[in-house]
Amino acid sequence: MPVVESEFRSPWWMPSGHLQTQLPVLLRWQFPLGDPVLIPTRDNDQLSASFYSSSTESKRLIILSHGLEGSNRQHYILGMIDYCLKNTIAGIQSDVLAWNLRGCGSPNNKTHKLYFSGCINDLDDVVVWAEQKGYAEIVLMGYSLGGNITLRWLGEQGTNAISRKIKAVCTASSTVDLASSVKKLDRLGNFLYRLFLFLV
């Protein structure tokens, strides 16, 4: 996969990538939890999720996947939920499901299995849940490691994703090169992130 060079330039008042990561956490408002949902998995476990219904009888569901050691309560997930519920996409109001990777958020797991970058069966079980609810369109959105899982799932599905009602896929800050991401986390200037990952 080609790596696209970013044209992004930091604003003068927020030049640091660390500040750009941490400031939104402090400034972001909080939202209600949504309706709790437990999604069964093929290996007799369950995934916790929050379901947000739009004001209309929506035929589209947006499925949000969070990043490494995050949850469906992360500031960027809550911001996207707010955006999706307040705006139409291609003229259609959407429901939103924000799910937790295994062991994240408020885990209600029955097994000791944890998530990893290749846990595409869990995302597939979430898509099956959406299919069973009768949605005509499903949109997948993933952040960081959740974006990696989303892209890997899409690659495994190939054209089958179309017949499964997948209408669009969007990822942000996806870790497509896991080895280089680990090396970057190991840099001295990123010790706070490593400490966070160790403590959670």
* Nearest alpha-carbon partner for 99 in 122, 116, 119, 79: 122
* pLDDT tens digit sequence for 158-167: 999 999 999 9
* pLDDT tens digit sequence for 126-151: 999 999 999 999 999 999 999 999 99
Predicted confidence (pLDDT) at residue 192 exceeds the cutoff of 70: no
With cut-offs at 50, 70 and 90, classify the pLDDT of residue 45: very high
Q: Which residues lie closer than 8 Å to 65 by C-beta, 6 or more apart? A: 99, 101, 123, 140, 141, 142, 143, 146, 147, 149, 150
The pair phi, psi for residue 193, each rounded to 5°, is: -70, -40
Q: Which residues lie closer than 8 Å to 82 by C-beta, 6 or more apart? A: 31
Q: Would strands 95-99 and 46-52 be described as parallel, antiparallel, or unpaired?
A: antiparallel
Question: Could you tell me the domains of the chain?
Answer: 28-199 (3.40.50.1820)
* Nearest alpha-carbon partner for 177 in 61, 45, 46, 4: 4
* pLDDT tens digit sequence for 146-187: 999 999 999 999 999 999 999 999 999 887 776 776 677 677
With cut-offs at 50, 70 and 90, classify the pLDDT of residue 58: confident
With cut-offs at 50, 70 and 90, classify the pLDDT of residue 64: very high
Structural element, H or E, at residue 168: strand 166-172
Q: Tell me, what's the pLDDT at 107?
A: 66
